[in-house]
Amino acid sequence: MRTATTMSLTSASGFIVFLLSVTVVQGQNGWGVTYATTQICALKGSTVDMSCTYTYPQWINNWKTTVEKTFWFINSDIKPVDLKTKSEYKGRVYYSYKKNDCFVRISDLRQSDSAQYQFSFMTNQPGGRYTGSPGVTLTVTAHPDLQVHVTRSSSCRNSNCVQVELRCHSSCRLPDNYKYTWFKNRQKIHSQTSSSYSTSFSSEDTVSCAVKLGSEMFSSPPVFAPTVPSVSFSPSGEIIEGSSVTLTCTSDANPPVTKYTWYKRGKNQLQSRGEGQQFVLSFINSSDSGSYSCQTENSLGLKMSEYVYINVKYPPRLPSVSVSPSGQIVEGSSVTLTCTSDANPPVTKYTWYKEDEDSPKASGQNFTITDFRSEHSGNYYCEAQNSRGRQNSTSHLVTVSERTTFIMNIIRLALVFLLLIPLIFLTLQIRMKKTQTINTELKPPETIELDNFQSYENEHVQHREERRLTGGRRPDETSSDVEVSCT
């Protein structure tokens, strides 16, 4: 087998057909068919030419070979039928007869004409029929399917810009010398007519290419950097701790987005969390709450999405209890217990209990006992509750100080005694008044003048001395008053 590469362009009635020619020769013992091309792409309504050459032995067993019939057919036919005789090709097929040349032209192409075509010839030799295989594959399309292929060459000085090499490509290969039209931001670039175009490209630019085939202009879709991405998450609605949440990033771009990067906003910087169009939090917890965004990138630039806030709901954490004042409590003083618990949504109800008692003591985040007694001593705990659940704190012991109680009892007794003194004094005064009243009725009271007290005292001392000297008699007593005893 011998192969070669050629390019042919056939024009008929203003329509253009493009041939990717790879010459193929098939044969054995001098028999063979060589096709000018094995693949042809043509536009609907245009005209296509398919050509080949064929060979055969001039003499076989001293018998000169002559060609009796040549024709083209579709290899899908069960029995080869001359293309010209098929009703769907009537009036649209033309053969050219030249020695050893095989040529067919099909005009007014239809998309139904897409098929594999083969050439066959018959000779006067016994069994002297030969068909060239595999033949020519014809594809008829209504659109050249132009696409702009992008190759990123370098970055511009401007961080929002890249230098790119663009190439206009068609599913039907166009000849290298064909004229193209380029558009940047919908404005025609008059200086560019080749299939390639080098330019600087910002994230807001669009570029497309076009070709004119016959009277019709065909354009490619524009190429552009990613649009601002949008972020969605599922399941939608309330996100519960422990569940699985999937974030999805969507952005339009041509060429398509090649890289998705997920970020979570931290206090001072962005935290990279992963890559891929979807980001899954398989067992989400409260620390995953926050603002998330995704960045999309292709060869022409990148874009960052707006932030989406993920709010993870969870029941109250283990509550903590604080007591003010701390330590042992002075009996009779005021004591405040405070319950604190982290929860999302926030705790909506606090309930206070005393250990070994079923009924609650109070409700609210703060529980105050204004006159603390020894019977108030014991273990207290609180229950925190929100829409996701409830949680009890550990018990907290609150007691009255024994030393303080003893002192307080002494103080109380002293206060009672001080309160009783005026009462006792008042009672004594009343009794004294009653006694004075009785004495006044029985005997007039003697009045002793304080100024004569000293002279009275001196006289009393003198009389006592005289009695001692006289044997106990007063000086004014007579002897007759003395009793004498004789023995």
Residues 241 and 358 in one domain: no
Judge whether residue 315 has pLDDT over 60.
Answer: yes
Digit-coded pLDDT (tens) for 400-456: 765 555 556 677 777 877 887 888 888 888 878 777 766 555 555 454 444 444 554
CATH number of the domain enclosing 84: 2.60.40.10
By the 8 A CB rule, do 38 and 5 touch? Answer: no
Sequence-distant (≥ 6) Cβ neighbours of residue 147 within 8 angstroms: 168, 169, 170, 220, 221
Buried b (16+ CB within 10 A) or exposed e, 39-74: ebbbbbbbbbbbbbbbebeeebeeeebeeeebbbbb
H/E run at residue 171: none
CA distances from 179 to 196, 212, 257 (A): 11, 8, 30
Q: Is residue 469 part of a domain?
A: no
Digit-coded pLDDT (tens) for 84-95: 999 999 999 999
pLDDT value of position 14 = 38
Residues 99 and 71 in one domain: yes
Q: Is residue 335 part of a domain?
A: yes
pLDDT value of position 76 = 80
Residues 309 and 326 in one domain: no
Q: Is residue 301 part of a domain?
A: yes
Question: H/E/C letters for each residue in 288-304?
Answer: HCEEEEEEEEECCEEEE
Residues 159 and 275 in one domain: no
Per-chain mean pLDDT for the chain = 82
Neighbouring C-beta atoms of residue 375, cutoff 10 Å = 7
Q: Is residue 432 part of a domain?
A: no
Q: Is residue 97 part of a domain?
A: yes
Which domain-ending residue is among 382, 403, 424?
A: 403
The pTM of the whole model exceeds 0.85: no
pLDDT value of position 424 = 82
Higher per-residue confidence, 3 vs 326: 326
Judge whether residue 9 has pLDDT over 50.
Answer: no
Digit-coded pLDDT (tens) for 95-107: 988 888 999 999 9
Which domain-ending residue is among 173, 201, 224?
A: 224
pLDDT value of position 215 = 74
Digit-coded pLDDT (tens) for 14-26: 344 444 333 334 4
Digit-coded pLDDT (tens) for 259-276: 999 999 988 888 899 999
By the 8 A CB rule, do 115 and 123 touch? Answer: no
Q: Is residue 428 part of a domain?
A: no
Q: Is residue 303 part of a domain?
A: yes
Higher per-residue confidence, 216 vs 165: 165
Residue 319: cis peptide before it, omega within 30 degrees of 0: no
Range of the domain at 165: 147-224
- By mean pLDDT, which of 70-74, 118-122, 340-344, 461-465 is the weakest? 461-465
Residues 331 and 390 in one domain: yes
Residues 13 and 72 in one domain: yes
- Round to whole Å and give the CA distance between 49 and 96: 11
- Round to whole Å and give the CA distance between 420 and 342: 55
Number of domains in the chain: 4
CATH number of the domain enclosing 151: 2.60.40
Which domain-ending residue is among 89, 111, 141?
A: 141
Digit-coded pLDDT (tens) for 463-472: 666 666 655 5
By the 8 A CB rule, do 86 and 79 touch? Answer: no
Residues 80 and 163 in one domain: no
Residues 11 and 137 in one domain: yes
For residue 143, what pLDDT band results from cuts at 50, 70 and 90?
confident
pLDDT value of position 254 = 95
Residues 259 and 364 in one domain: no
Please list the residues that pair with 353 across neighbouring strands.
381
Q: Is residue 458 part of a domain?
A: no
Residues 7 and 135 in one domain: yes
Residues 51 and 71 in one domain: yes
Residues 136 and 47 in one domain: yes
